[in-house]
Structure 1
Amino acid sequence: MREDSGIDTLLDLHDQVIEQGQGYWLKIEAWRVEPTNQIPHGIRYALTLHEPSGQRILGYDNAHAVKPPRTFKYAGRILTFDHKHRHRSDKGVPYEFQDAHQLLTDFFADVDRVLLEVQQR
């Protein structure tokens, strides 16, 4: 696996809580773990956006495995640990982890999109 220069940035953001306005906030958690087949990049992470009540409304993490979409072409596919949650109760959909920089880029783009949806309600 190639060196991921964004990992240091992600690790530097560990335990950060960032206000997003109107009571919304996000939290970033990231720490090194021993690389495994399930977590080959060696980073355990949880990036979450919360509404004013504290309820998570968006999350990217690799805390548990998720099944790929149920289609024939994915039959027998290995479970992925990197995934994202869009709603409070969903079990997550696979997220294709490329590197830590792309993870942060994708997360913040989704945060912007979700907050725009909230403002339009």
Structure 2
Amino acid sequence: MMPSRDTSLDNLLDLHGQVLVIDAAGYWVRFVVHQVPVTAQKPHGLDYSMTMHAPDGTRLVGFDNAHQVEGKRRAEHDHKHRLRTVKPYAYRDAPSLVADFWSEVEAVMREKGVWL
């Protein structure tokens, strides 16, 4: 019997290229997700950037592994941006990544008083 395909990973990959307006005020999110060969820097085989932006384009939230984090030796690794802070992110699986991203988006929207 063939192992079943990870549909949660397919769902994450299907988000690639999506830009969604999430509020009437103009806040929006963007998803860039590619499957790549497994490496030490990307052991889960993904190159991703999931971001939330204010109406003026300012990034407020971001989860990615696509660039070097200032002051870190390892060139690329999973991390999250929240307003002006950057912290490591412990990637577990595709559904957790999406859920963690949306939780952070919701928290920032509530802090800004956009969502109650």
Residue identity (%)? 43
Q: Which amino acid aligns with 2:12?
A: L
- Residue 116 of structure 1 deviates from its aligned partner by 0.7
Quick check: 1:83 aligned with 2:79? yes
Distance 2:88 2:63 in 1: 10
**1:4 positional shift:** 4.8
Separation in 2, partners of 1:105, 1:54: 23
Unaligned runs of 5+ in 2: none
TM-score of the pair, normalised by structure 1: 0.79
- Give CA-to-partner distance per residue, 1:35-71, whole Å, 9 cap, x none: 1011011110000000000111110000134468xxx
Which amino acid in structure 1 is aligned with residue 19 of structure 2? V
Show the 5 A alignment for 1:76-115: 79=74, 81-88=77-84, 90=85, 92-115=86-109
Distance across 1 between alignment mates of 2:6 and 2:66: 20
CA contact (8 A) 1:65 1:82 kept: no
How far the C-alpha of 1:5 sits from its partner, in A, is: 3.9
Shift of 1:7: 1.4
**Alpha-carbon shift at residue 6 of structure 1 (Å):** 1.9
Q: Which residue in 2 is equivalent to 1:18?
A: 20
> What residue in structure 2 maps to residue 34 of structure 1?
37
The answer to whether residue 51 in structure 2 is matched with residue 48 in structure 1 is: yes
Could you tell me which runs of 5 or more consecutive residues in structure 1 were left unpaired when the two chains were aligned. Answer: 69-77
Taking structure 2 as the reference length, the TM-score comes to: 0.82
Q: 1:63-109: CA deviations, max 9, x gaps?
A: 134468xxxxxxxxx84600001124x4x210000001100000001
- Between Structure 1 and Structure 2, how many residues are aligned? 107
Aligned partners of 1:65 and 1:53: how far apart in 2? Answer: 25
